C-alpha cells in the first residue's frame, strides 16, 4: 500500500455546531473540506437575518452551521448533512445553505464513489507524443489522483492548479473548451446529451519544482464499453473541481 492510500487517523471533536470527525493532522484533511464559519455574535443580530423578526424570549435565535448567520427557527429549521465540514450528523442550516448542501449530497453519495472506483484513459504527459492506457482514480482519503498502467503516478489534489474538461467535438484551444471559468456558469456536463465529456487536461505542480506539469486524459475510443464510464468519471471530476475551488477560495 502506498503512502497516499494510508488511512489517516481521525478524531471526534465537539464544536458549538455539533460533533465532527476530523483528521488528526490538518495536512490530512480532504481537499474538498470547508472550515466552520465564525458565528455572527449574538449582540450583533437583534433580528432574524432573513425575515427580520425580532428575537426575544419566545423567538429564539439559531445559527446556520454553514454560513454562521443568525436566524429565527422558521428560517433555519432544516437539518441537512454537511460532510464538507465533517459533521457526523445533519446540522441546522438556513434555507439558502440547506439547498447548497442538499446538492452536494449527490456528490458525496454518488460522484465521490465514481471517482474512487476509477476509469480508463489514454494519458499523455507534458508535450510527449506517446500516451499510455491508465486507470485513474481518486484515493480513499480524497487527497490524490492515482494513475496505474505500466507507469504509476500520484498527483496530490492540492497541487492541481487547473482542470479543463474537454467535451465532444472540440479540440484543446478552441473557445468551447470547458475550463474552470466555465464551472461558475450553469453549463452542465452530463454523461449523456450533447456535452459528453471526452477528456481532461490537468496542470499541477510537482513538489520541488516551480513549473507546471501538464497531463492530458483522453477517453479511449477502442474500449467502447468503458467510454460511458469515462464520461461519468469526468462529469464527477467536473463537480469535484467546483468543490475544490470553493474550498480554496474560503
Q: Which residues bind Zn ion (CB under 5 A)?
A: 48, 50-51, 53, 64, 66-67, 72, 75, 94, 97
CB of 55 to Zn ion, least distance (A): 9
Q: If we measure between CA atoms, which residue out of 71, 66, 99 comes closest to residue 83?
A: 66
Tell me whether residue 68 or residue 149 sits nearer to Zn ion (CB atom): 68
- Residues 112 and 218: their CA atoms lie apart, in Å, by 20
DSSP string, 4-24: GGPPPPEEEEEETTEEEEEES
CB of 99 to Zn ion, least distance (A): 10
Tell me whether residue 92 or residue 137 sits nearer to Zn ion (CB atom): 92
Tell me whether residue 16 or residue 193 sits nearer to Zn ion (CB atom): 16
Residues in the chain, how many? 250
Do 117 and 139 touch, CB atoms closer than 8 A? Answer: no
Residue 118, CA distances (Å) to 3, 41, 74, 146, 192 in order:
18, 45, 42, 9, 19
Spell out the residues 6+ positions from residue 55 whose beta carbon is closer than 8 angstroms to its own.
Answer: 45, 46, 47, 48, 61, 70, 72
Tell me whether residue 82 or residue 163 sits nearer to Zn ion (CB atom): 82
- Residues 13 and 3: their CA atoms lie apart, in Å, by 26
Tell me whether residue 104 or residue 122 sits nearer to Zn ion (CB atom): 104
Beta strands in 8-118 (DSSP E): 10-15, 18-23, 62-63, 70-71, 78-80, 91-93
Cell output for 129: 507524443
- Residues 242 and 250: their CA atoms lie apart, in Å, by 13
Tell me whether residue 98 or residue 115 sits nearer to Zn ion (CB atom): 98
Tell me whether residue 48 or residue 243 sits nearer to Zn ion (CB atom): 48
- Residues 119 and 106: their CA atoms lie apart, in Å, by 19
CB of 48 to Zn ion, least distance (A): 3
CB of 94 to Zn ion, least distance (A): 3
CB of 95 to Zn ion, least distance (A): 8
CB of 184 to Zn ion, least distance (A): 20
CB of 75 to Zn ion, least distance (A): 3
- Residues 187 and 242: their CA atoms lie apart, in Å, by 12
Amino acid at each position: 500500500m502506498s503512502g497516499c492510500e494510508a488511512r489517516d487517523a481521525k478524531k471526534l471533536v465537539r464544536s458549538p455546531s455539533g460533533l465532527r470527525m476530523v483528521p488528526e493532522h490538518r495536512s490530512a484533511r480532504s481537499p474538498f473540506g470547508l472550515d466552520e464559519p465564525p458565528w455572527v455574535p449574538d449582540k450583533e443580530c437583534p433580528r432574524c437575518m432573513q425575515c427580520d423578526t425580532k428575537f426575544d424570549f419566545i423567538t429564539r435565535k439559531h445559527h446556520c452551521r454553514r454560513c454562521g448567520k443568525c436566524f429565527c427557527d422558521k428560517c433555519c429549521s432544516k437539518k441537512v448533512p454537511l460532510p464538507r465540514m465533517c459533521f457526523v450528523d445533519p446540522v441546522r442550516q438556513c434555507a439558502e445553505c440547506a439547498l447548497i448542501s442538499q446538492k452536494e449530497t449527490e456528490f458525496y453519495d454518488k460522484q465521490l464513489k465514481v471517482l474512487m472506483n476509477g476509469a480508463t484513459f489514454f494519458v499523455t504527459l507534458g508535450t510527449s507524443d506517446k500516451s499510455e492506457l491508465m486507470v485513474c482514480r481518486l484515493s480513499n482519503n480524497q487527497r490524490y489522483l492515482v494513475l496505474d498502467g505500466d507507469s504509476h503516478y500520484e498527483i496530490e489534489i492540492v497541487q492541481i492548479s487547473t482542470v479543463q474538461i474537454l467535451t465532444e467535438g472540440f479540440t484543446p484551444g478552441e473557445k468551447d473548451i470547458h475550463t474552470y471559468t466555465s464551472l461558475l456558469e450553469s453549463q452542465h456536463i452530463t454523461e449523456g446529451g450533447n456535452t459528453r465529456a471526452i477528456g481532461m487536461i490537468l496542470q499541477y505542480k510537482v513538489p520541488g519544482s516551480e513549473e507546471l506539469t501538464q497531463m492530458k486524459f483522453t477517453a479511449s475510443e477502442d474500449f467502447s464499453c468503458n467510454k460511458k464510464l469515462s464520461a461519468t468519471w469526468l462529469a464527477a471530476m467536473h463537480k469535484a473541481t467546483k468543490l475544490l475551488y470553493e474550498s480554496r477560495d474560503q
